[in-house]
Structure 1
Amino acid sequence: MSATYLSRNLGPAFTLQVWNAATEELRSDETTMLVMVVSTPAITVGNKTTNQPRKLIRNPTGNLTRNTLRNKAPLPTKTGYLSFAVPVHENPDLFVVGLNNKIIIIRWNSSENTFHPDSALLAIVDETIPSNILSYGTVDKLGRLMFGTMNFDGLKLANVSTLNFDLDLKTHISGFVWCKGIVVDPQASQVKVYLVNSETHNNLIAYKYHGKNGKIGNSKVVFDWSKQEMSGFPRRLTIDRDGKLWIALDGGHGIIQVDPNGKPKKIIQYVGLPALSVGACTFGGPNYDILFVSTMPIFHESHHGQHPQTDKGGSIFAIKGLHVQGWAPEEFRLNRFIIDSIFPETH
Structure 2
Amino acid sequence: MSLTIKKIIEPLELGEGPHWDDRQQALYFVNILKGTIHKYVPATGEHTKTKLDGSVGFIVPVNGTTDQFLIGLERKFVIVQWDGKEGSATKIVRELGTVDQNVVPNTRINDGKADPRGRVYAGTMGHEDRPGNILPNQGSLYRVDKTGIHKLCSEIGISNGLAWDLARKAFYYTDTMERRIRRYDYDVDTGNITNLKYIFDLEKNKVDGMPDGTTIDSDGNLWVAVFNGSCVIKIDPTSGKLLQKVPIPVPQVTSVTFGGPNFDILFVTTASLNIGGAQEPPCGSTYMVTGLGVKGLPNMNFQC
Structure 2 equivalent of residue 108 of structure 1: 82
Q: Is the 8 A contact 1:88 1:332 kept in 2?
A: yes
Whether the 8 Å CA contact 2:28–2:59 is kept in 1: the answer is: no
List structure 1 runs of 4+ shifted beyond 4 angstroms: 47-52, 298-301
2:183 and 2:88 map into 1 onto residues whose CA distance is 41
Distance of aligned partners of 1:298 and 1:169 in 2 relative to their CA distance in 1, 3 Å threshold: closer
Question: Rg larger in 1 or in 2?
Answer: 1
Of the three residues 154, 158, 176, the one matched with 1:174 is 154
Q: For residues 205 and 239 of structure 1, what CA distance do their matches in structure 2 show? A: 14
**Partner deviation per Cα, 1:179-217 (whole Å, 9 max, x = no partner):** 1322222x3232x11111245x31101011111111111
SS at match of 1:227: coil
Out of 121, 129, 138, the residue aligned to residue 103 of structure 2 is 129
Say if 2:163 is the partner of 1:183.
yes
Q: Where does residue 261 of structure 1 map in the other structure?
A: 238
Tell me the residue number matched to 1:161.
Answer: 142
> CA 1:206–1:295 in structure 2 vs 1: closer, same or farther (change >3 Å)?
same
Q: Secondary structure at the match of 1:226?
A: coil
Matching residue of 1:25:
none
Matched, 1:319 2:289: yes
Question: For each residue in 1:23-78, what CA deviation from the matched residue of structure 2 results, as whole angstroms up to 9, or x when unmatched?
Answer: xxxxxxxx752422343325433267996634334xxxxxx1xxxxxxxxxxxxx3
Corresponding residue for 2:8?
6
2:172 paired residue number: 194
Residue in structure 2 matched with residue 241 of structure 1 by the alignment: 218
Measure the CA separation in 2 of the matches of 1:171 and 1:300. 31
Q: State the distance in 1 between where 2:246 and 2:90 align.
A: 40
**C-alpha contact 1:14 1:40 (8 A) present in aligned 2:** no
Amino acid at match of 1:194: Y
Q: Number of residue pairs matched?
A: 295
Higher relative contact order (CA 8 A, sep 6+): 2
Q: Which has the higher helix share?
A: 1
- The verdict on how the C-alpha distance between 1:203 and 1:162 changes in structure 2, with shifts beyond 3 A counting, is same
Q: CA RMSD in A?
A: 2.4
Query: Within 5 Å, which residues of 2 pair with 1:282-293?
Result: 282-293=257-268
The sequence identity of aligned pairs, in percent, is: 27
One-letter amino acid of the structure 2 residue matched with residue 134 of structure 1: I
- Secondary structure, aligned partner of 2:250: coil
Instruction: Name which of structure 1's ranges 78-87 and 126-135 shifts more when overlaid on structure 2.
Output: 126-135
Q: Which has the higher strand share?
A: 2
Q: Is the 8 A contact 1:237 1:245 kept in 2?
A: yes
After TM superposition, give the deviation of residue 141 of structure 1 in Å. 0.7
CA shift at 1:87, angstroms? 0.6
Gaps of 5+ in 2: 128-133
Cα distance change on mapping 1:114 and 1:244 into 2, 3 Å? same
Contact 1:32-1:51 at 8 Å conserved across structures = no
Normalising by structure 1, we get a TM-score of 0.78
User: Residues 33-48 of structure 1: matches in 2 within 5 Å?
Assistant: 33-46=26-39
- Aligned pairs for 1:52-63 (under 5 A) are 53-57=46-50
1:10 to partner: Cα distance: 2.9
2:298 match:
328
Q: 1:79 maps to what in 2?
A: 53
What is aligned with 1:68?
none
1:145 aligns with 2:120: yes
What does the per-residue CA deviation read over 1:98-147, in whole Å, with 9 as the maximum and x for residues that have no partner? 00000111112225863343433111112222422211111011111111
Distance of 1:49 and 1:203 partners within structure 2: 33
Q: Structure 2: how far apart are the matches of 1:245 and 1:2? A: 20
Give 1:286's aligned amino acid: P
TM-score normalised per structure 2: 0.88
Q: Which letter does structure 1 place at the counterpart of 2:4?
A: S
Mapped to 1, the partners of 2:43 and 2:71 lie a distance apart of 22
Distance in 2 between residues matched to 1:291 and 1:35, nearest whole Å? 13
Task: Indicate conservation of the 8 Å contact 1:87/1:96, yes or no.
Answer: yes
Q: Is the CA contact (8 Å cut-off) linking 1:43 and 1:84 kept in structure 2?
A: no
